[in-house]
Chains A and B, each alone.
Chain A
């Protein structure tokens, strides 16, 4: 899932400057799980803004809605009615959702209400850890099921650097050393031989370094004709 964190209220208020009729948009997917932008958070933010408006005499019109999934157009279109008369959206969806919302409402000012942090998972309630670097060329089968790109602070591919100590990374005593985890995992799997393999320079083209990534699933792409038939059917 995508991990995000809500921006401070004051930052959101500053970005809002000059806009009166605002829709706060939450998302029931990842941001709800990491307690950054689900229905509850959208409600709290909208209420805080209404309170602020009242106290400061801003006269804002603030409403809120929570989408099933803000990263898919079909779900975003469902907020059509709620958008009536609005000139700004505060997106509590991740950066992906915020952009899909913009795609559907290109003329409306979309304010990012969260910072999108990483692809990760909850460790325990309230604690979320980055897990995947999205490099486009997965090596988890070689690294004991632990991603060196995301979980080593330097994305090293040939084992821990000299800064690994007592299982911790040199950048911070609270951060586990990704390669220490990989070493232990491979040891448990009886695959320490993999630690000896010299891994050549990585092809970073499938990663973000290769430029914008567009994935085409050819068999799923509809022809113009199929699109017409589908539209007529709806």
Chain B
């Protein structure tokens, strides 16, 4: 059974959905997450809690998800394959579901070489597509992947990611199709600066009818400066940042304001792309700007129906 999360209700109703990312802190203080949750409450339908993103050790995704629940905002718990095998993944799914987490997002996870534990042994027992298969089996068949029945099946609204800017480009739509076949109910994409390439990706998505089988939330990430844009282009895995974007940031009198403006323009454009059912805002270390972006993009107020 699907979880009937707020995010699912919004997407199923045909409204243009908004999700936003909260990066858990590099420490044991939950107040950071609490503050973001309070500040952004009502500005998104659900909030992603990243799972040790870029392989940097942070407060865990499930714990941060619980803090969100305490604050009355709906979490999307991210679960990377890098750090856990299928035993730990299934156990965490049961635990999180038991405590009220409904949206779970399956992803491969950045290689540990990017993070602050470069000497770690990685896991990758499952890849993200296999992770979807395992979670779907737990939910729909009430079984663990090994085949044992679960006393109580978890209720999950199942998410995955896709990067239209990864290569080979021609495989990006087939890869999305595999994620849909493996059980994805919704997809959040890598952040979009290269709109031409994203639109070509969406052409392929519609050609295969995938936009009718899965809800796609297009990713956006507001830029703070030209330096950040340059960094994203060169250092962040699987990103495409056109020179025009970098130049626009470079020439801006107020780069921060320009970054927000660019982000809002991108959302406005994404609203017109057929098959895009929402946006996913990743204001990395800039979460306080999410309400402004959502408001400026004409996506406020949200209809929130969290229980």
Q: What's the nearest-Cβ distance from chain B to residue A183, in Å?
A: 5
| Contact yes or no, B110 A183, CB < 8 A | no
Interface residue tally for chain B (C-beta within 8 Å): 36
Measured CA separation A180–B168 after assembly (Å): 7
Question: In the complex, which of the residues A160, A161, A162, A196 contacts B168, with contact meaning CB atoms closer than 8 Å?
Answer: A160
Q: With an 8 A cutoff between CB atoms, is A127 at the interface? A: no
Point out the residues of chain A lying under 8 angstroms from B114, CB to CB.
170
| Contact yes or no, B181 A201, CB < 8 A | no
What's the count of A-B pairs with C-beta under 8 Å? 98
Question: In the complex, which of the residues A164, A198, A199, A201 contacts B167, with contact meaning CB atoms closer than 8 Å?
Answer: A164
Tell me the interface secondary structure of chain A in the complex: loop
Q: With an 8 A cutoff between CB atoms, is B258 at the interface? A: no
| Contact yes or no, B113 A162, CB < 8 A | no
Do A201 and B134 contact each other (CB < 8 Å), given the known contacts A157-B127, A159-B171, A165-B166?
A: yes
Question: In the complex, which of the residues B86, B113, B161, B167 contacts A160, with contact meaning CB atoms closer than 8 Å?
Answer: B167
Measured CA separation A33–B272 after assembly (Å): 60
| Contact yes or no, B174 A196, CB < 8 A | yes
| A154, A180, A183, A195 pick with most chain B CB within 10 angstroms | A154
Q: With an 8 A cutoff between CB atoms, is A171 at the interface? A: yes
Measured CA separation A156–B125 after assembly (Å): 9
Q: What's the nearest-Cβ distance from chain A to residue B137, in Å?
A: 10
Interface residues of A (CB under 8 A from B): 153-167, 170-172, 177, 180, 183-184, 195-196, 198-202, 204
What would be 12 A-B contacts, judged by CB atoms less than 8 Å apart? A156-B127, A158-B129, A158-B130, A159-B175, A161-B108, A161-B166, A163-B166, A164-B168, A184-B168, A198-B181, A200-B133, A201-B86
Q: What's the nearest-Cβ distance from chain B to residue A171, in Å?
A: 5
| B108, B163, B167, B177 pick with most chain A CB within 10 angstroms | B167
Q: What's the nearest-Cβ distance from chain A to residue B144, in Å?
A: 11
Q: What's the nearest-Cβ distance from chain B to residue A178, in Å?
A: 13
Do A162 and B162 contact each other (CB < 8 Å), given the known contacts A167-B167, A180-B167?
A: yes
Measured CA separation A204–B111 after assembly (Å): 20
Point out the residues of chain B lying under 8 angstroms from A161, CB to CB.
108, 127-128, 163, 166, 238
| A155, A158, A160, A196 pick with most chain B CB within 10 angstroms | A158
Point out the residues of chain A lying under 8 angstroms from B110, CB to CB.
163, 170
Measured CA separation A196–B86 after assembly (Å): 23
Q: Mark B62-84, 1 if CB is under 8 A from A, else 0.
A: 00000000000000000001100
Q: With an 8 A cutoff between CB atoms, is B122 at the interface? A: yes
| Contact yes or no, A156 B124, CB < 8 A | yes
| Contact yes or no, B122 A163, CB < 8 A | no
